[in-house]
Structure 1
Amino acid sequence: MQTQANSDTDSPVRALPKVERQRLHDTVVAHLRTLIVEGALESGRKLNERELSETLGISRTPLREALKVLAAEGLIDISPNRGASVSRLSATEIRDTFELLSNLEAFSGELACERITAVELAEIKALHYAMLACRANEDLPGYYRLNHQIHDRINLAARNAALRQTYQSVNRRLQALRFRSNYRKPKWDSAIHDHEEMLTALEARDGKRLAAILRQHLLDKRDAVLLMQAGEAGDADGTPQA
């Protein structure tokens, strides 16, 4: 007859430490991703593992595992000789990637208008109004998180697994730049207007209209980012900016 002790030994509860380890891994990845997106770890910055481990209160093993994940996402560059640093996209890479993403989002919009449910639409509307509250409070991190969720929900509503995988891969590389594109208030307010137009088109199930809005929305972000980058380059070399 099997004892209670033996039964406990065979219990699935023994898998819990692995679950907790995975949660730590996911938490570290998410936290570092946020630091990169919101600019606390700026592009081009070399990452000191010892300092990051102490700051985050973790050992180097989960940190290194997280850095590998972020490297696969294109947010971190890892060199055998130079270690890890936050990725910096060139002007050409920024232009090309935003152009690709603009068409992925446009396609998402078209499909979403065909396939979105009433519940999904209501959830996007709720996120939109919460985003407006963040804008009123000038809470850019909160605004961006909700903004990101809205674009993500539209992509999910497209119900196309191949599109979803490609969209996530491309979008991760641009998250920090999308965040920075709203540093200037006129651009932030323009983005709000675009989102109101998106919601109207989505409610009307007007796929062509939503696709056009999303495409231009991303191209406007591209232009804003390239303008900022040019300004920063001018500041660095002492060139006067208009």
Structure 2
Amino acid sequence: MMGFLRTANFNVSYGKIAAIRSMSIDMEPGRIVTIIGPNGAGKSTFLKALMGLLPFDGQAEFLGEPLQRHDVQYRVGKGMVLVPETRELFAQMSVRDNLLLGTFSRRRTGAASIREDFSRVFELFPRLAERASQIAGTLSGGERQMLALGRALMARPKLLMLDEPSLGLAPIVVREIFRVIAQLREMEVSILLVEQNARAALMTADHGYVLETGEVVLSGPAAELLHDPRIMRTYLGASAA
């Protein structure tokens, strides 16, 4: 059977410094897979390399096709979308225009299809509907994250890669973001989630990988990792006793 997303012996280096070493993951469609770990573990580096923003050695396949020979534009065309931790919105443009930019890779699909996507995003994020004409640079941090997610969804991604979606957000907003992420699984959006909030990530995901100093040190069903003594002690602030 054709794999959805697979890497094997995946390596990324910054000059002579190895940032990712022999990373292997296997992801099925329609699932949420999370990568957790401390700052500097290589989580964001892994996503950037998958997206084509950094070179890598080893194997990476998406929908059964090797990624290494293809650029970012090709990967976007295949259905890969990355929401970086910096969000990278167009601050001087309106919420609606930022969302419209998300449809660029499928601009030939027609107005009816794009209207349908606006409706879906506004249903997921009612606050964006209320602020559709507002300039993106005037939004709160939580609203900017919602807009970044909404813009990515306008591309109808096959694989949505989220880099630290809860970064810098208030707890009530974090809960809202993860509620939407869980909803997206019900809509059969496949999500690769990099997150420092290990508890929220593991409670939402189907499968998890723990990355430390560029290497996978633990992996398994997210529900099992959530109760693993080592994870509890290191990442959840709980006693392993």
TM over 0.5: no
Higher-Rg member (1/2): 1
* Structure of greater relative contact order (alpha carbons < 8 Å, 6+ residues apart): 2
More helix by share: 1
More strand by share: 2
TM-score interval for Structure 1 and Structure 2 normalised by the shorter chain: under 0.3
Give the structure-2-normalised TM-score.
Answer: 0.26
